[in-house]
Structure 1
Amino acid sequence: MDVDTGIDDSLALLYLLASPEAEIVGIAATAGNVAAAQVAVNNLAWLDVCRAPAIEVALGAAEPLAVPLRTTEDTHGPQGIGYAELPAPTRHLSRRSAARMWVETVRERPGEVVGLCTGPLTNLALALRLEPELPRLLRRLVIMGGAFNHPGNTTPTNEWNIHVDPEAAKEVFDAFAAAPADRRPIVCALDITETIEMHPEHLRRLAERAGCPPRDPARESDPEGTRSSAPNPVVRHVEDAVRFYFEFHRRYDQGYLAHMHDPFAAAVALDPSLAILRPATVDVELAGTITRATTVADWSGMWGREPNADIVVATDPAAFFDRLIARVGDFARAVHPLVPQEIS
């Protein structure tokens, strides 16, 4: 995982921790939603809360390749996890850099590792500079990023992750032109991820699945900043994080909801059959005055270049949320079983 944790990145991590078929072999902290150092703290803290086994967390680059870092605390909160207040982590960062972890991990396990990038692609671009064969060494790469036939969420044409480091994104897409067809990156862009809408009802179902007492975990009528009363720590922190995201989306007239971009990408990384894919050649605009960082897809071969990505063009959001709620709810209940006095 290469993440800029992040509210929805947090749910992606929980989804993978809750999935028995997943083995997380490393987590790279990338600068994006918040600074890389804070991202690393968030990852370590979530692993503690989830009582996860030892998983390497490596610090990534502090800045994008060619431009100053832009963060988005207005979207994700001052620490990147909304209103959630995770305990200070007891775990420690890896001595390896994130780029070095990428390279050494895929060299040790060629053809086995699936890479999941839910933040800017800075670390992966640096890893590709160290190991140009990485597109052939990975089993598959899944990227949450870009917008094709859809408005951007940062500028009229830009998606956030690509906007933060467009040079890195271009290096990655250019490098994966060398990947075999069955190892092309799967791209989960805003065209689809903005249909993955979490609502308060999803949080209620998640809490119920985790064994929490019946209640309304988030209501649009609640005062901003209301905190969760869930006795389960995983559920409580998720509710506090997602409430911030609900409030952000409402503030921008999108409704009391939250787009779950990153957990959807995590689900696709484990099971690509959740998505309908269409091959295309993807490039990133770097020179445009008002279109810089725009992802462009050549769907019909006009550029005369082979496809370098498989773009998600359709999915079933309800089926995804059923899976998310079942997995994370059961996981939260197993990790933090409630004693009788907590549910009376």
Structure 2
Amino acid sequence: MTGTTTRIPLILDVDTGIDDSLALLYLLASPEAEIVAITCTAGNVPARQVAINNLAWLELCGREGVEVSLGAEIPVIQPLMTTEETHGPQGIGHAELPAPSQEISARHATAVWIDTVRSRPGEVIGLVTGPLTNLALALKLCPELPLLLKRLVIMGGAFNYPGNTTPTTEWNIAVDPDAAKIVFDAFSVVPADRRPVICALDVTERIEMKPEHIAALAEAAGSTPAEIISPDDALGLRSTASNTVIRHLSDAVRFYMEFHRDQDQGFLAHMHDPFAAAIALDPSLGTTRAATVDVELAGTLTRGQTVADWRGMWGREPNADIVVDTDPAEFFRMVIDRVGRFAREVG
């Protein structure tokens, strides 16, 4: 990092998660990212497993001093659902990370959110790549939080696009739609240049990580032998990469590719959360369109659907900037460059 690099302080609120894992690696590899804290919520896997996963990745990467706090272990109202069939029994696919020695913070995630934005008003970007439960709970205790946060970036929702959980709902919103409603309503007070940025399925399902991307990452990291993931491999084949970061990442992503293949989506992995991480650092990576976003809570078939009013038909001001386009090739170029170089440094 050069002396002129401007640091961007971030709170990460996650449900790690295979794609959350790569998002964390991307931020660790980005010199402009200052990870202030990681708050954990239940989603892909239970919240305590999420916290362990984050501690394990941090320790594997030699990063000390990042607070990892436990937050909501259940949604605001509805029962918890998790998706180990998508992310593996521990949430990190076939990877088996060494058990971390660092402890989970004694502070609850809501306290971390509130204390951080109050101590650094107008500075911190919130990045939520899981359900919005922790942030919703923090808003109940600190209604002024939206005005204290510099900006919020959310991975979630689907607009004029099929869901990945029900026909109309995206996973993060479906896990806790009531929390999402609380957040979108609360952030309606922020000025236009600080509206939340939403990375929804419409764009994130275009971020398709394929075996050649893993091979390129391994090459950039100087890992041997060549990291070849093939759809013809035996199910669950484990990596023998010499580089520890590449080996564990490859084992995690292989599981994700196997899942997508089983869902007839191809031998690939949708990297929703790393894209949101990249947008948090550099919003110019995506083209956005302002809209008024709300969440359906009462629909028998559509509970959890995110609805965008693009034309002002509700008579309410826009409360979000939705990413509607990006260049996936440029995104993967940055991932390979940054994470590959970082993995080489870590060893």
Q: What residue is the counterpart of 1:243 in the other structure?
A: 254
Q: What residue is the counterpart of 1:143 in the other structure?
A: 154
Task: Give 1:293's match in structure 2, choosing from 304, 310, 313.
Answer: 304
| Amino acid across the alignment from 1:71 | T
* Match status 1:48 vs 2:48: no
Q: What residue is the counterpart of 2:105 in the other structure?
A: 94
Distance 1:20 1:34 in 2: 29
Task: Give 1:316's match in structure 2, choosing from 327, 332, 339.
Answer: 327
| Amino acid across the alignment from 2:202 | D
Task: Give 2:274's match in structure 1, choosing from 263, 268, 274.
Answer: 263
Q: What residue is the counterpart of 1:212 in the other structure?
A: 223
Distance 1:14 1:216 in 2: 18
Deviation at 1:215, TM superposition (A): 1.9
Deviation at 1:214, TM superposition (A): 4.4
Deviation at 1:144, TM superposition (A): 0.1
Distance 1:104 1:155 in 2: 36
Distance 1:78 1:94 in 2: 23
SS, match of residue 289 in structure 2? strand
Distance 2:103 2:121 in 1: 27
The superposition leaves residues 231-290 of structure 1 with CA deviations (integer Å, 9 ceiling, x where unpaired) of 111000000000000000000100000000000000000000000010000000000000
| Amino acid across the alignment from 1:129 | K
Distance 2:205 2:66 in 1: 30
CA contact (8 A) 1:135 1:183 kept: no
Distance 1:193 1:169 in 2: 18
| Amino acid across the alignment from 2:309 | D
Deviation at 1:93, TM superposition (A): 1.1
CA contact (8 A) 1:217 1:239 kept: no
The superposition leaves residues 176-198 of structure 1 with CA deviations (integer Å, 9 ceiling, x where unpaired) of 00111111100000000000000
Task: Give 2:94's match in structure 1, choosing from 79, 83, 102.
Answer: 83
Q: What residue is the counterpart of 1:340 in the other structure?
A: none
Distance 2:154 2:303 in 1: 19
Any unmatched runs of 5+ in structure 1? 337-344
Q: What residue is the counterpart of 2:294 in the other structure?
A: 283
RMSD: 0.6
SS, match of residue 36 in structure 2? coil
CA contact (8 A) 1:212 1:230 kept: yes
Task: Give 1:72's match in structure 2, choosing from 83, 98, 114.
Answer: 83
Return the TM-score normalized by structure 2.
0.96
Q: What residue is the counterpart of 1:173 in the other structure?
A: 184
Q: What residue is the counterpart of 1:127 in the other structure?
A: 138
Distance 2:228 2:119 in 1: 44
SS, match of residue 277 in structure 1? strand
SS, match of residue 168 in structure 2? coil
Return the TM-score normalized by structure 1.
0.97
Distance 2:344 2:204 in 1: 27
Distance 1:156 1:271 in 2: 31
Distance 2:161 2:16 in 1: 24
Q: What residue is the counterpart of 1:161 in the other structure?
A: 172
- The percentage of counterpart residues that share the same residue type is 71
SS, match of residue 86 in structure 2? helix
| Amino acid across the alignment from 2:302 | T
SS, match of residue 26 in structure 1? strand
CA contact (8 A) 1:28 1:57 kept: yes
Task: Give 2:20's match in structure 1, choosing from 9, 15, 19.
Answer: 9
Deviation at 1:217, TM superposition (A): 2.7
Distance 2:224 2:106 in 1: 42
- After TM superposition, which residue ranges in structure 1, 4 or more long, deviate above 4 angstroms? none
Task: Give 1:60's match in structure 2, choosing from 41, 63, 71.
Answer: 71
| Amino acid across the alignment from 2:224 | P
